[in-house]
Amino acid sequence: MIHHKGEKPMPEQIYLGFARHDQPQVTLEDTVILPDASGSMALGDYRPTRIDGAKDAAKGLTQVKFAQYPLDRIGVVSYADEAEIHLPLTTVGSHAGDINKAIDDIELRGTTNMSAGLQAAEVVLNGQDNQSLMDVAKAHLAAVLKPNASARAAHSGRQRRIILLTDGGHNVGSQQELFEIADRLKQSGVVIATIGIGGDPSDVNEADLKRIASIHPRTGQPMYCFIADSQSLQIEFKRQAHHLVRMPTTDT
């Protein structure tokens, strides 16, 4: 379920890695930052807490985007029992302060519903941000059943990305639903990176996070990593801030 305060698949893309900011860039990017806001994110193995470490890392991504990719857009969504859209897609160069405020406004609540988080991220990436819960549900169903011209226009020419972070595992709803949502996003051209945090990789469901993540075609590995300390998490988010180098596959 999504709490607010289907289109045709795009051609498959090969992602070769992250571009340097001085390389010519044609494609702008839309990124949804999607952290876990369940109660366990209050644990203090990340100083001062896991959620504070995640917030600081997310603001580091904003900082890099502001300096190097100011025309990119960032949306902020968190998930626990339900998902909450804190900020629709917002241009970094003119609204970095609003993005950081939205990150700071994330509050912990409840359990870990990744399905709701991914659904809300999909809503944000499709430009459907100011809707009631019922409107969002209808829009979600319409996107599955019929291509949405306005949604396509909202992200025309932009690479769409989700960075999902968690310190646990999906424990609300079915695993099948979670995988179906992730697959639909990836088939529509969205690149999903997943990050596990905590004291040990056993703290998270690595199998699910690898299954949700996009596959890096050069390595054949999921775009997933586990990070055990806040400093390394900041480095990873700053790396994720850079544009993906990509090229469409050719039909044979």
Q: Which domain holds residue 93?
A: 2-246
Handedness of CA 31, 35, 37, 42 (dihedral sign): negative
Prediction pTM value: 0.82
Domain assignment present for residue 29? The answer is yes
Question: What CATH code is carried by the domain that includes residue 60?
Answer: 3.40.50.410
- For residue 242, CA distances in Å to 54, 124, 222 come to 18, 20, 18
DSSP for 46-105? Answer: SSS-HHHHHHHHHHHHHHHHHHH-TT-EEEEEEESSSEEEEEEEEEHHHHHHHHHHHHHT
At residue 26, the pLDDT reads: 54
Q: Is the pLDDT of residue 20 over 60?
A: no
Return the pLDDT at 158.
Answer: 95
pLDDT at 63 over 60: yes
Give percent of the chain with pLDDT exceeding 70: 75
pLDDT digits (tens, 9 = 90+) for 127-186: 975 443 445 444 444 444 344 444 444 556 899 999 999 999 898 888 999 999 999 999
pLDDT score, position 25: 52
Number of domains within the chain: 1
CA distance 153 to 158: 10
**What is the model's pLDDT at position 47?**
84
H/E element, 21:
none
Among 97, 95, 75, 96, residue whose Cα is nearest residue 86: 75
| pLDDT (tens digit per residue) in 79-123 | 999 999 999 999 999 999 999 999 999 999 999 999 999 999 999
Q: Is residue 251 part of a domain?
A: no
Q: Does residue 80 form part of some domain?
A: yes
DSSP structure string for 115-148: HHHHHHHHHHHTT--S--HHHHHHHHHHHHHS--
- Adjacent-strand bridge partners of 17: 245
In contact, 112 and 164? CB cutoff 8 Å: no
Tokens of 125: 């990436």
Per-residue model confidence as pLDDT tens digits over 186-244: 999 999 999 999 999 999 999 999 999 999 988 999 999 999 999 999 999 999 999 98
Parallel/antiparallel/unpaired status of strands 73-79 and 83-91 = antiparallel
Is 165 within 8 Å of 34 (Cβ atoms)?
Answer: yes
Under 8 Å between Cβ of 175 and 208: yes
Please state, in angstroms and rounded to a whole number, the distance separating the CA atoms of residues 185 and 173: 18
**Is 252 domain-assigned?**
no
